[in-house]
């Protein structure tokens, strides 16, 4: 599976580990830009579009082993032997899945507002309804799309996030496959324990990571630590970028 990617060479010539940034559901490689702009000062960065997102190839298959293998092949393509991997939401699950298929390729993990669990809940039906309404109406402009989406989605920030992947009447993610494979996306198969550093950053107001996930999380990532950003939701990196970046820098700058 050929993934669209962007490689950014560090502004300063130092020997820090490369960083791979992986976006979440309905996203693209630009979504973690606020992190990329800071981390790219002293790390080589690889930003990717996951399959069925952005400019990457399409597939009827949308599960975590397959998406993780896509990332391994992309690392190979760019000659990256080992990297710090940072993923948000679905991208965090892809990052975690890497530990079972290519553990030697990962230096450290940063997982933003996601747990290694099957959520057994549909949080995105209103989003799918809004997306499909725009497509069925034949709308071409973002302003018209936003007006219609407000009938389905209350959070303006979510609407604007989605519209980053809308251009000339076309969504840049594969809506039918994301709908058909949704149970795979919110689901999870437990992984063997990965006994290396992992940082879980969660928004204090987000339902995606809570105390009920602690046992499963530590069983799979026994060296995990948690950092809670108060007053932030699921898009914690967009809402509180400075707090998230401080936590990431402390974590990746540590020596084992």
Q: What token pair was written down for 161? A: 């996030």
Give the pLDDT of residue 57.
97
Last residue of a domain, one of 173, 204, 239: 173
Q: Please state whether beta strands 19-22 and 83-88 pair in parallel, antiparallel, or not at all (unpaired).
A: parallel
Closest CA to 37 of 56, 57, 10: 10
Q: What 3-state DSSP class applies to 23? A: coil
CA distance 183 to 179: 9
- What residues act catalytically? 89, 234
Give the pLDDT of residue 254.
84
Is residue 179 in some structural domain?
no
Tell me the CATH number at 99.
Answer: 3.40.50.1820
Mean pLDDT taken over the chain: 95
| In the predicted structure, residue 19 carries a pLDDT above the cut 90 | yes
Give the pLDDT of residue 203.
97
List of long-range contacts for 138-145, beta carbons under 8 Å, 24+ apart = 138/169, 139/169, 140/168, 140/169, 142/166
Query: Measured in Å, how far apart are the chain's first and last C-alpha atoms?
Result: 34
> What is the arithmetic mean of pLDDT over 173-198?
97
Is residue 180 in some structural domain?
no
Alpha helices in 107-224, H assignment, sequence order: 125-136, 142-149, 156-163, 175-180, 182-186, 214-220
Give the pLDDT of residue 10.
79
Judge if 96 and 34 occupy the same domain. Answer: yes
Is residue 181 in some structural domain?
no
- Say what percent of the chain tops pLDDT 70: 97
Is residue 178 in some structural domain?
no
Number of domains in the chain: 2
Strands (E), 23-72: 45-48
Is residue 221 in some structural domain?
yes
Judge if 13 and 131 occupy the same domain. Answer: no
Judge if 39 and 104 occupy the same domain. Answer: yes
Judge if 97 and 201 occupy the same domain. Answer: yes
CA distance 29 to 50: 8
Judge if 45 and 85 occupy the same domain. Answer: yes
Domain extent, residue 149, equals: 125-173
Judge if 210 and 83 occupy the same domain. Answer: yes
* pLDDT tens readout for residues 122-179: 999 999 999 999 999 999 999 999 999 999 999 999 999 999 999 999 999 999 999 9
């Amino acid at each position: 599976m050929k993934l669209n990617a962007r490689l950014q060479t560090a502004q300063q010539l130092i020997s820090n580990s490369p960083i791979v940034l992986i976006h979440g559901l309905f996203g693209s490689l630009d979504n973690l830009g606020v992190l990329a702009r800071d981390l790219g000062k002293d790390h080589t960065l690889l930003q990717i579009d996951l399959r069925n997102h952005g400019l990457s190839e399409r597939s009827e298959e949308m599960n975590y082993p397959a998406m993780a293998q896509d990332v391994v092949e992309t690392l190979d393509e760019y000659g990256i032997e080992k990297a710090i991997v940072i993923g948000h939401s679905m991208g965090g699950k892809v990052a975690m899945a890497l530990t079972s298929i290519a553990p030697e390729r990962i230096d450290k993990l940063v997982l933003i507002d996601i747990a290694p669990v099957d959520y057994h809940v549909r949080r995105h039906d209103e989003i799918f309804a809004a997306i499909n309404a725009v497509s069925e109406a034949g709308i071409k402009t973002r302003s018209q799309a936003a007006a219609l989406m407000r009938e389905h989605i209350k959070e303006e920030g979510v609407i604007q996030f989605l519209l980053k992947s809308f251009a000339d009447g076309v969504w840049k993610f594969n809506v039918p496959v994301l709908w058909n494979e949704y149970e795979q996306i919110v689901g999870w198969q437990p992984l063997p324990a990965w006994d290396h550093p992992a940082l879980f950053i969660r928004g204090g107001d987000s339902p995606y990571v809570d105390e009920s996930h602690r046992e499963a999380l530590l069983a799979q990532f026994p060296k995990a630590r948690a950092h809670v950003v108060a007053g932030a939701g699921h898009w914690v990196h967009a809402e509180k970028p400075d707090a998230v970046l401080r936590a990431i820098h402390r974590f990746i700058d540590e020596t084992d």
